[in-house]
Structures are given as structure tokens and as C-alpha cells.
Amino acid sequence: MTSSAEALPAPRPQLRDRDARPGLARLTRVELRKMTDTRSGFWLLLAVAGLMLLTVVISLLSGHAADHRFRTILSNALQPALVLLPVVGILLVTAEWSQRTGLVTFALVPARLRVILAKALAGTLLALVAVVVAVVLAAIGVAIASPPTDHVWTLPAGLLGQDALYLVLAMLTGIGFGAALLSPAPAIVLSFALPIAVAALGSISWLEGPAEWLDTSKALSPLSEEVLSGRQWGQVLTASLLWTAVPLAIGIWRIRRNEVR
């Protein structure tokens, strides 16, 4: 008995969108992972968390009871992150050139502007996570210490938002310096040296007025101290344009035109 095999239709190849560009969320996750994959990034983040905890402990063990309010301890806890997180942002950008990973990165994602945006979003998310960690550490420390003072837990919502903005601006400034210079050593040095130089010039009497608008130590520090007035917000905007937007704009121009090897 013979049977004839029916002709089966040839299977249609499943179309896999392998050439579709990765989404921005995926790129952001990759950039977040890059911050902890390297030894420098891992130890810097660990140092930030450790210094936050140490700052909370020292703040609660020193000073007067009035200095042990939650808002004061939180402001102190954020200081290590304000100093070190911009360095993480610098390393995140400059690693593409110093570690020679740019060829792979920009071959997989030719649209370099999307890579820069993903780095900025990853830095912003990391800064917000640092704010949450600082809030948790400060809350635990104040709860354990139970300082004998009034209004211990008073914290205006606007002030908490300003703290988050302050840390995000610091991170984006680091990313901007890294993108503008594309080398970690000069970017780190200038990110510390230039603000110090501007602050020194601002100590001259006839430069005190412009310094209120250009010196980050004067224009941005009120973000963690008080709810800002309209004039103070103008100072924040001016200083942010100079120290964050300008380096980012220069960095975007350089990265889009720079030859990757």
C-alpha cells in the first residue's frame, strides 16, 4: 500500500526585527549597568553610600539638638553625593574613549544623540536613587537619635524637590564636563577647579553681584537650605545654563563629530 505525501507548504521565515534600534529604556538600563560594571564606578558608588551613612552619624553625634532635625540631617547626608556623583557621570561618558568601548557602542547605536540622552537619563535616575537613600538614612538616624527638639520631622515638599533637583544638576554637570572634554583626568580636575576659581573671583567686592548668578556655591546651595524665591530661581537657572547646559551642548557637538577608534 502506497501513500502519497502531501506537499507541505514551506515554512515562512519568522521575521525578527534584529535591525530595529534598541529602545531608549533599554539603552538607559545599559548605561546604568555601566556605572557599576567598572571597579572605579562600583567603588565610587559604594563610597557615596558609606560617606552618606558616616555623615548622618557624625551629624547626629555633634552639634546642638536644633541641628538634629530631619531636614538638616538630610541636607548633610546629600553632601557626599553632590561631590562624588558628578565624577561617576564623568566616567560614564569618558569611558567610551578611555576604555575604547565607543566603537562597539556607536556601531550598535549609530544615533549618538540617543546614547548621550540615555547617559543623561541614567545619571538622573542614579541621582534620584541617591536622594532616596539619603532620605532613608537620615530618617533612620533621626528616629534612633530622637532629638529633644520641636519640629523634628518638618520638611516642606518643595525643599525635598529642590534637594533632588540639586543632585540631578550636579550629575548632569559631571556628564557635561565629561562629554565636553572626553578624557576623565582633565574633566575631573576642571569640574572641581573652575567652580573654585569662580568662587575666588566672587570674593572680590566688585564681583559679588555677578557671582550670585554665576557661582554655583552661591546660586545653587540655597536649593538645600530654603524654599527659593523667584530671584533665587533665576540665579539657579543662570548658573545651570553656564555650568550644565553649555558643557552638555559642547559635548553633544564633539561626540557627534568626533572620530571613534
90 in Cβ contact with 191 (< 8 Å):
yes
Mean pLDDT over 99-122 rounds to 85
- Residue 5's pLDDT band (boundaries 50, 70, 90)? very low
pTM for this structure? Answer: 0.87
DSSP H helix total and E strand total for the chain: 11, 0
Question: What's the CA gap between 147 and 143, in Å, rounded?
Answer: 8
The predicted pLDDT at position 12 comes to 54
Is a pLDDT exceeding 50 seen at residue 197?
yes
Cα distances from 40 to residues 30, 64, 206, in angstroms, run 17, 37, 42
Q: Which grid coordinates are listed for 95? A: 569611558
Check residue 8 and give left, alpha or beta (phi > 0: left; psi -120 to 50: alpha). beta
CA 213, 216, 221, 227 torsion-angle sign: positive
Is a pLDDT exceeding 90 seen at residue 15?
no
The predicted pLDDT at position 1 comes to 46
Which DSSP category does 18 fall into? T
Mean pLDDT over 222-230 rounds to 90
Question: What's the CA gap between 81 and 47, in Å, rounded?
Answer: 9
State the SS3 of 23-68: CHHHHHHHHHHHHHHCHHHHHHHHHHHHHHHHHHHHHHHCCCHHHH
Write the pLDDT tens digit of every residue in 157-171: 889 999 999 999 999
Mean pLDDT over 125-129 rounds to 96
Mean pLDDT over 50-59 rounds to 94
Helix extents (H) in 182-261: 184-202, 208-214, 216-219, 230-240, 246-257
Mean pLDDT over 214-237 rounds to 91
Least confident of 96-100, 165-169, 185-189: 96-100
Is a pLDDT exceeding 90 seen at residue 148?
no
Mean pLDDT over 46-67 rounds to 90
Write the pLDDT tens digit of every residue in 75-84: 999 999 999 9
- Residue 20's pLDDT band (boundaries 50, 70, 90)? low
As a whole number, the mean pLDDT across the chain is 87
The predicted pLDDT at position 115 comes to 92
Mean pLDDT over 197-226 rounds to 88
- Residue 150's pLDDT band (boundaries 50, 70, 90)? confident
Mean pLDDT over 197-202 rounds to 88
Mean pLDDT over 20-45 rounds to 87
- Residue 36's pLDDT band (boundaries 50, 70, 90)? confident
